[in-house]
Chains A and B, each alone.
Chain A
Amino acid sequence: MSALQLFIVQRLTALIMAPLVLAHLAVMAYAIHGGLSVAEILGRTQGSWLWFGFYGLFVVAASSHAAIGLRAVLTEWVGFRGRLGGRLRDLGCAVFGLALFGLGARAVWAVTLANTATAGVGL
């Protein structure tokens, strides 16, 4: 991706994450202060396309945002530049982003659609 494309993705994901982070914090506060049990939480999230969409979008945005940010840190602070350094850096950041995405996607899948996908229950 070009410097411009990375910049656009970085800004768009920031824009997406800003409200999602606030909503996530509000949900956490609600879940903990309301004293919801694990079963109660799962009861609300499982089978919900809404929560799947919410946290799915979050995971996509966070993993790409973090990978692009890490790329800048490696460029400026570790000196990964030039042909070889740049390649290594980009490969490393792509792997890092994909790993974050994998971990996040697995968690989102587990708390939302995992058991219902096979049962075919929606919303």
Chain B
Amino acid sequence: MERQVPGKEFLSVTVQRGQPGEAVRMQTFQVPAQDNQSVLDVVSWIQQNANPSLTYRFACRVGMCGSCAMMVNDVPRWTCRTHVSKVAKAGVIAIAPLRNLPLIKDLVADLDPFFDKWTDAEAHHHPTRDRDQPIAAVDPDSRERRQANAGIECINCAVCYAACDTVAGNPDFLGPAALQRAWTLYNDTKNADKNAVLDAVTGQGGCHTCHSLGSCTNLCPNELDPTAAIAGLKRASARRFFGRD
């Protein structure tokens, strides 16, 4: 363990420990502060220098893979690209696993329910052609394509899912990311079955469950706008209801 050097700053970092079947507890570590330091750096420092059994998840460290999201001072963040100076309050950080998801261990939440809902939202491709046919042309300037483009950079980090109070209140709600994915498919000219997508997202727990509070859009690290995507699905379903599509 690093010795406390006089004049050197330390962060007081509290991490949640424990797994299902045992009492969850909080453990606080003094972590040397650096000028440039991400929340993931802090977690890694604890695991490498203070407590090797601390369990957490990451892969790319550059904001691509979406595996490192955690609750940081009660707000869901991608930890690899969240600078400590942005979130620490007087040198104090509390880190916990993502909310609205089952716990695996320590800082790792089980993302299965999150991905299951992508499947429930029909969020997979329904092809229009087979491999022998020429590739369909996509007009990049069309309204549909622009609406699809707005949502395709999702990294499946589940930050929005953890941010959503409607998911917290109603576990049946598909949630922002799955619905946004459905909206991109709905607008994809290469996707054959628009109606299947719309059917999947208009049942119980579908797009109409969303209260448009915007926590998802507010916290999405890729600055995507699931709230707008969900509003698009609501509009599309209403148009179809009145026979205008």
Contacts and interface: CB of A to CB of B under 8 A. Distances in A.
A44 interface: no
B170 A4 contact: no
Interface residues of A, number: 13
A75 to B, nearest CB: 6
Contacts, number: 32
Contacts of A40: none
Interface string A1-20: 01111111001000000000
A3 B209 contact: yes
A87 interface: no
A81 B209 contact: no
7 contacts: A3-B204, A4-B208, A4-B241, A7-B237, A7-B238, A8-B241, A76-B166
A72 B205 CA distance: 11
Contact of B238 (A2, A3, A8): A8
Contact of A7 (B166, B169, B234): B234
Contact of A75 (B170, B202, B234): B170
Most buried by A among B202, B206, B208: B208
B237 A4 contact: yes
Contacts of B166: 76
Interface of B: 166, 169-172, 202-206, 208-209, 234, 237-238, 241
A3 B169 contact: no
Contacts of B204: 3
Given A7-B238, A81-B172, 15 more contacts: A3-B204, A3-B209, A4-B202, A4-B237, A5-B241, A6-B208, A7-B234, A7-B237, A8-B238, A8-B241, A11-B238, A75-B169, A75-B170, A77-B169, A81-B170
A76 B203 contact: no
B206 A3 contact: yes
A56 to B, nearest CB: 24
A12 B133 CA distance: 45
The 8 A-B residue pairs with the shortest CB-CB distance in the complex, in nearest-first order: A76-B169, A7-B208, A4-B202, A76-B170, A3-B208, A3-B204, A4-B237, A75-B170
Interface string A69-96: 0001001110001000000000000000
A77 B206 CA distance: 18
Contacts of A8: 238, 241
